[in-house]
Structure 1
Amino acid sequence: MPIPPAVLAPGVLTPTDVEHVLPPQPTIPAGPLSTVPVSSVQVAPLATVVESAKRLAAWTAVDKHVLPEHKVIGIGSGSTVPFVVERIVAQGPEVNKDRVFIPTGFQSKELIVEAHLRLGDVDQYPTIDVTIDGADEVDKDLNCIKGGGACHLREKVLAEAADTWIIVADYRKNSDVLGKNWKQGVPVEVAPFAYVKVLQNLRTLGSEKASLRMAKMKAGPIVSDNGNFVIDAPFPEEQMKDPFTLLGRIKMLTGVVEVGLFCHMAKAVYFGNQDGSVTAKWHDGHAEHYDNSSED
């Protein structure tokens, strides 16, 4: 039977007066779930172009990569992820009843629980069929900056555990070189007792403005889900052109737990665009464009 209209996931904005629809998608063969094209599903309009772009990217990625045969699914973090869960819920209880969902942090755990999906842990399921996650910025080679939400340690574990790792983002995250759009710097999770020395070493590596990330509604620094501090380390563009080398240099610093540079990992990145289209960039260099100009 066709999938029902998407149910708004927790945190999704209230609909307003803008409506976007996706183009026809490949139909999944009949079985436990028969999927209809996204263009035939009523999509609630969202408050802003950015939110619409996030939803379009997330829906397209789910329809392309979260298939009925996938039983262990990683759910990432960030503002685009509620739309990922929304679309998975829309696939229906019959297909989801045999699935387990692995979160990258508190936010994704809450989304899974509130959507009445089965919660699991990477300890139980060290091999994941597909993980869908967000990103703070993506370069032309699909290298990513992640960690704006201080979840990059768990995000990287689930990315490496997945047979397929997919990124969803809006057009603002699409860049040729990392650091051009995301100015805050590379997120570096560190052991609390070592942060001063790590700060000193990061500045020696070239990040003169590396700083401890401070909380906004709490006195003191941000503390990750793992009980660690986070340093934001901006580097010059010349160093950011080779993020894999930079990743290795930062990771080797004693006291560093994980680095928010994800290199040579993504199979594809889906960008929702301002005009209601979606661009998919693949690890082998080719791109696909989904035009959403059609109307119901």
Structure 2
Amino acid sequence: MKTTGGTDDQKRRAGERAAEAVEDGDVVGLGTGSTAAYAIRALGRAVDDGLDVVGVPTSFDSRHLAREVGVRVGSLEGVDGIDLAIDGADQFDTQLAAIKGGGAAHAREKVVAAVADRLVLVADPSKSAETLSRSVPLEILPDARPAVERDVVDLDGVPTLRRAEHKDGPVVTDNGNLILDCEFGPIDDPAGLASSLASVPGVVEHGLFVDLADAAYVGTDDGVEVRTAD
């Protein structure tokens, strides 16, 4: 369930601006999605010009793209830390709390974001909101699906199993798990909901990113807006 909205130029401006924040010798978390892909391509061009960086991918797609454009790829096991993570968002609010997981990679994305010294979100204006309201993806253990669905309903959520678009059956993550997209309506307390979802047995990771992002680079028709939490 990838998000739509915004133009390619807006996404490109956001991704390229974030890539400019990478310094020589950095270890960079490489996010997943169309806007993060622009940042990875920009890093590839910078590497061609002599920049020395190591990228830690959050998904198969970001790993493949990084290798394709010449960014040296590492892993969390092989690096001492991450200087900067660059990643997209399905939606983010004025406090930079975000919903992620449209690409079903939010479990690895959250680990990389938590390890990083800084997390920069890259997005187009359609992803900005006063209050989070998109469905929250949950990566769950396959056998736990019925129990997790009951717990989500108890939290006043409506869970839906994410189905694959070009194959029969559900979406399966890079980790071999399933995705539930859970509607909660307007989320006035992202931290509280995040805590509740984290306590549900069978949930590997939820898509609420709270108190992780340091800035959001929002591509516009004219340039890039750099936003911080209110």
Q: TM-score, normalised by structure 1?
A: 0.73
The one-letter code of the counterpart of 2:116 is: A
Residue in structure 2 matching 1:58, options 15, 20, 37: 15
Change (3 A) 1:197 1:169: same
> Shift of the alpha carbon at 1:93?
3.0
CA RMSD of aligned residues (A): 1.5
* 1:250-286 alpha-carbon deviations (Å, 9 max, x no partner): 110110000000001101001112x322211114x3x
In 2, distance between residues paired with 1:112 and 1:103?
A: 8
Which residue of the partner structure matches residue 67 of structure 1?
23
2:182 counterpart of 1:233: yes
1:126–1:161 CA contact under 8 A, matched in 2: no
The one-character-per-residue Cα deviations of 1:202-239 (angstroms, maximum 9, x if unpaired) are: 011011x21111111111111000000010001032xx
Tell me whether 1:109 sits opposite 2:66 in the alignment: no
Deviation at 1:152, TM superposition (A): 0.2
SS of residue matched to 2:78: coil
- Which structure is richer in relative contact order (CA contacts within 8 A, separation 6 or more)? 2
- Following TM superposition, by how much is the alpha carbon of 1:87 offset from its aligned partner in structure 2, in angstroms? 1.5
Measured in 1, the distance between the counterparts of 2:142 and 2:106 equals 16
Correspondence list, 1:143-222, <5 A: 143-179=97-133, 182=134, 185-207=135-157, 209-222=158-171
Match of 2:35 in 1: 80
Q: Which residue of 1 aligns with 2:215?
A: 268
* Partners of 2:50 and 2:116 in 1: CA distance: 20
Cα distance in 2 for residues equivalent to 1:234 and 1:61 = 31
Instruction: Quote how far apart the aligned CAs of 1:49 are.
Output: 6.5
> Partner of 2:56: helix, strand, or coil?
strand
Report the Cα distance in structure 2 between the residues aligned to 1:278 and 1:156, rounded to whole angstroms: 24
Tell me the alpha carbon deviations over residues 55-101 of structure 1, each in whole angstroms, 9 at most, x when there is no partner: 111111222x2122x421110000112210121122243533x4211
Task: Return closer, same or farther for 1:206/1:197 CA change in 2, 3 Å cut-off.
Answer: same
Does the CA-based 8 Å contact 1:188-1:260 persist in structure 2? Answer: yes
> In structure 2, which of residues 181, 185, 191 is the aligned counterpart of residue 244 of structure 1?
191
Name the amino acid aligned to 1:281.
R
Tell me if structure 2 keeps the 8 A contact 1:186–1:234: yes
Question: TM-score, normalised to structure 2's length?
Answer: 0.94
State the distance in 2 between where 1:246 and 1:260 align: 11
Residues in 1 aligned to 2:195 and 2:17: alpha-carbon distance in whole angstroms: 33
Map of 1:280 onto structure 2: 226
Greater share of helix: 2
- Report how many residues are paired: 226
Q: Per-residue displacement from partner, 1:151-185 (whole Å, max 9, x unpaired)?
A: 00000000011111111001100111111xx3xx1
Shift of 1:132: 0.4
SS of 2:165's equivalent in the other structure is coil
Q: Distance in 2 between matches of 1:49 and 1:159?
A: 24
From the superposition, tell whether residues 258 and 139 of structure 1 become closer, same or farther in structure 2 (CA, over 3 Å): same
